[in-house]
Structure 1
């Protein structure tokens, strides 16, 4: 599943990217998508970012559901 966050302030963008990068694409993490009622276990190996006008950022990530127990 792919998600995109737009108009992120630099600190929020940096926090998101640091979180994803620290897991190196293989460490699962819990996150609750807006269309889910409970957190789901994910991994993320692919992400990108763009700088938008006004100093904001756009962050896109592809998450894969993980079924490995934590």
Structure 2
């Protein structure tokens, strides 16, 4: 289990301000990036290594362009 103490959550820049689909990311923990649904924060958190998260973000950005 990942220790969430000290996680600083931020909402995705792609999230709408009307309460729609929102993702929160905490990337301030050493070697970890955490992701959760802002509407259901108690339903669990996904945990990625920093390297895996960079590969994911790079892949998404490549598909979007």
TM range (shorter): under 0.3
Q: Which has the higher helix share?
A: 2
Higher RCO (CA 8 Å, separation ≥ 6 residues): 1
Q: Which has the higher strand share?
A: 1
Query: Normalization by structure 1: what TM-score?
Result: 0.23
Query: Normalization by structure 2: what TM-score?
Result: 0.24
